[in-house]
Amino acid sequence: MTTPLKFSANLKWLFTELPIEQRYDAAAAAGFKAAEFAWPYDRPIALFRDLLNNSGMQQLLINTPTGKPGTVKASGQACHPDSIDAFRSDFLKSLEYANGMDCRMIHLQAGIRQQDVSFDAAYTTLVENVRWAAAQANNVTLVLEAVNPNDIAGFILRTQGQSSSVIRDVGAANVGLLFDVYHVQRSEGDVTARMREFFPHIRHVQVADSPGRNEPGTGELNWSFIFHALTELNYEGWVGCEYRPATETVAGLKWLSDFVR
């Protein structure tokens, strides 16, 4: 018997017509049961607890903090040998937020490799930092995501194979793969082949169409085929809707009935 797919709303991308204080209720009204929100750190934990309690939503995932946009730290610093203390301090902050929001998954952003640092040195730093973070977060799953070079040049993890190598080298049960269909298509292609190959490591899936990163059905991907493959694999996790709505969020949700429900 196959497992029905479950979809979560990424509130950094969806319902941006509204302030964050109204997005949880809007997502619940649209039928979502769980939410992702990358960076909650400029607001108090108590606010998110209230939003979650009032909406009945589950907080599924948050990201680790990142640096100033346009800098080498804009996508995280877990692979930066000169920023180990800063990364670990930031991670403890993300763990505090996760625990306060009853969130059981953190997207640990690996970062852009610094130009004066070799790949091997950056990779070693990443493995050591992820291993350390996993030891602090025994009640939270950490996920690593490969990012395509068209969106973020120089990101240290570009393929599912690279992310899976880190996971194997860390060797912690609470570290897994965030399989982002959009990034996989842009970096590697053969989405369902990659999905099957790395399925043992997959702990979370995110979706957006390619090349525009809008909702499924607006680009080149065969979503019926992709969702059927996930179902065949008996994927029991959530599928995060991390896309830029082509028009208005609720109007764009028709794809759920077209491809899934």
Query: Which residue in the list 17, 21, 145, 248 is annotated as catalytic?
Result: 145
The secondary structure of 31-58, three-state, reads: CCCEEECCCCCCCCHHHHHHHHHHHCCE
Residue 226 corresponds to which tokens in the numbers above?
């992709």
Query: Which residue in the list 36, 197, 242, 248 is annotated as catalytic?
Result: 242
Q: What share of the chain is helix, strand, coil (3-state, %, to 5)?
A: 40, 15, 45
Write the DSSP assignment of 58-109 as a string of letters. EEEEEEPP---TTSTTBTB-TT-GGGHHHHHHHHHHHHHHHHHTT--EEE--
Query: What one-character DSSP code corresponds to residue 204?
Result: E
Strand ranges inside 166-232, DSSP E: 175-180, 202-207
Q: Residue 94 to residues 45, 139, 143, 228, 242: CA-CA distances in angstroms?
A: 11, 13, 13, 34, 20
> Is 145 part of the annotated catalytic residue set?
yes
Pairing of strands 141-145, 238-241: unpaired
Peptide bond into 19 cis (omega under 30): no
Helix (H, G, I), strand (E, B) or coil at 118: coil
> Is 197 part of the annotated catalytic residue set?
no
Pairing of strands 141-145, 175-180: parallel
The set of catalytic residues is 145, 242
